Chains A and B, each alone.
Chain A
Amino acid sequence: MIKVENLTKRYGGFTAVNGISFEVGKGEIVGFLGPNGAGKSTTMRMLSCYLPPTSGRAEIAGFDVFKDSLKARERIGYMPEHVPLYNDMRVVEYLRYRAALKGVRGRRMKERLTDVMDLCGLRDVERKLVGNLSKGYRQRVGLADAMVHEPDLLILDEPTIGLDPNQIRQVRELIKNLGRHHTILISTHILPEVELTCSRVLIINRGRIEASDAPENLRARLRATGDVRLEVRVPDPDHAKAALLSVAGVRGAEVVEEGEWTTFSLGIEIGADPRESIYGLVKDRQWSLRELSRERVTLEDVFADITHPDEA
């Protein structure tokens, strides 16, 4: 669906995007991650045919964004950062105008307007002026606009920025549902969101793609696997510690809290999951067990590791 080769954008002397290449297949939901100023928005603007690339090329559904720009644009639904909208129009008016611009007409117009307004929960504000809407509703109008012409590809630049947690969850659900029919490229700062919605993550930093993989694989790539937390009642913590260290796959043990119950934090070797053996040990020694859990490595760790390699 998207094919990018050596795409570069320079603003004067500053290189915002530096020769990136990637591909996105049909039906994928790809998360586009990176710190502020990494080149996310610039890349998305080039893909949506708003900015011409300095060099390199990008294709949307087989159409070059520069040479076949109109055809490419017909296949894209783009929602820019901060969702600029005409404040002087009513919601339904705005969507009708946008749909007409994108070539929706006749009976299909009515259908599409009803569909997107239902999907984005805009029914109760359809007669309101866009300028009077809350941030969350504006975001939904932007989203409705992006998909009103049933594009093959949705490009969403920070669709959940500035929303409250409930709204974020609603938008996330919406995006997940859209993923059944559309290819989606979504940029965001909110990492759990990517983990929940995306099948693949692209991490961009200083104009270059640093990683491209499924969220699970990215997590696995990280040196440290999640620690195991164990809360037990033991007669002698030091003794227990030695016993735990002898379990295969455990490479370190630390006592975090002592008292009636002792809490251990166990370092685990890469790829290993010794929780079953640990439970075996606990049962063997007849310790009382209150908690045995594994901390998940979040994408935040991956993100920090990749974008600031020296601090990790």
Chain B
Amino acid sequence: MRKFFTLWTREVAVYFRSPTAYVILFFFLLLTGFNFYATVNAMNQAPVRISVVEAYFNTVFFWFGFVVPFPLITMRLFAEEYKLGTIEPLMTAPVRDLQVLLAKYLSAVFFYVVLWAPSMLYFVVFQWQAQISAAPAVGPYLGAYAMLLLLGLFYLSIGCLASALTRNQVVAAIISFAAIALLFYWGFYSRWFPNVSPALRDLTDYLSAVQHMATFSQGLLDTRPVVFYLSMTFLVLFATYQVFQYRRWKV
């Protein structure tokens, strides 16, 4: 546990030591801030039946900003160590492969949380300025942020796997971006092709991140996506573990 913590601390420190982290944080804040402003502005134009929270987490701006950071956060994790050769001193220290993998993955999760944490302030500011609550109850807040975390866990694990596959960070970023985009757009399949079979429609809806966020940001809890994202995260991390070990057998 101590060694895990040592590894994790170093991985987190890498994020905040490099200027890229601050560039990502800055532009992400700019993007989500603009997104919030645009959402509230649009809601001011005409009466709507949805809460600010619900509206904020379901715009196309939100989703665009949401998908972009994943490859940037994760591409470095393994690829850089392979490239610099630092994987060799790392893995000849008495640490378990699993400790290294989890330290890397959870450091990415930490950065992701830091990335999204300021967005909560928007709702605080909104309530303070507008004197009305952004959501009718705590449910939508909890639901929206829980879904944000679940999606994050899953997509970050994909990025982790992509990074473990290659020593080239750009290749890792492209792989994870393609995989995440594919999964994400798959959810729109039944919307774009309305006359698909009901079975396929059910399947795409079951996998649709947009659908899940719509449900959760209303404050509704559905256990199916929870199980889906957690089990998929586990599966992808397991695959990453295998790839990570296999690379040394092969190298």
Q: What residues of chain A have their CB less than 8 Å away from a CB belonging to chain B?
A: 45, 48-52, 70-71, 73-74, 76, 78, 80, 82, 84-88, 97-98, 100-103, 105, 145
Contacts and interface: CB of A to CB of B under 8 A. Distances in A.
Nearest to B251: A51
Closest 10 CB pairs of A and B: A84-B85, A73-B94, A100-B6, A101-B93, A84-B86, A74-B94, A80-B88, A48-B92, A78-B92, A70-B94
B92 A76 contact: yes
A50 B88 contact: yes
A52 B2 CA distance: 26
Nearest to B17: A88
B18 interface: yes
Contacts of B95: 101
B83 to A, nearest CB: 10
B93 A98 contact: yes
A97 B89 contact: no
Contacts of B6: 97, 100-101
B14 A88 contact: yes
Given A101-B6, A103-B94, A84 B249 contact: no
A174 B251 CA distance: 32
Nearest to B85: A84
B7 interface: yes
Nearest to B80: A86
Nearest to A52: B249
Main secondary structure of the interface of A (DSSP, over half): loop
B224 interface: no
8 contacts: A49-B91, A73-B93, A78-B89, A78-B92, A80-B89, A84-B89, A86-B86, A100-B2
B3 interface: yes
Given A52-B249, A88-B14, A145 B89 contact: yes
* Interface residues on chain B, size class: 20 to 34
Contacts of B248: 50-52
Main secondary structure of the interface of B (DSSP, over half): helix
A102 B86 CA distance: 16
Interface in B62-92: 84-89, 91-92
Contacts of B89: 78, 80, 84-85, 98, 145
A102 B2 CA distance: 11
Interface string B1-35: 01100110010001001100000000000000000
A102 B93 contact: yes
Contacts of B84: 84, 86-87
B10 to A, nearest CB: 6
A70 B96 CA distance: 8
A88 B92 contact: no
Q: Which of A45, A70, A101 has its CB near the most chain B CB atoms (within 10 A)?
A: A101
Interface string B240-251: 000000001101
Given A50-B248, A101-B3, A101-B93, A84 B18 contact: no
A53 B14 CA distance: 33
Given A84-B84, A84-B85, A85-B86, A50 B91 contact: yes
A298 to B, nearest CB: 32
A110 B204 CA distance: 57
Nearest to A50: B92
Nearest to A82: B85
Interface in B154-202: none
A52 B250 CA distance: 9
Given A49-B92, A76-B92, 12 more contacts: A48-B92, A70-B94, A80-B92, A84-B87, A84-B89, A86-B86, A98-B93, A100-B2, A100-B3, A101-B7, A101-B95, A105-B2
Q: Which of A50, A87, A88 has its CB near the most chain B CB atoms (within 10 A)?
A: A50
B245 to A, nearest CB: 9
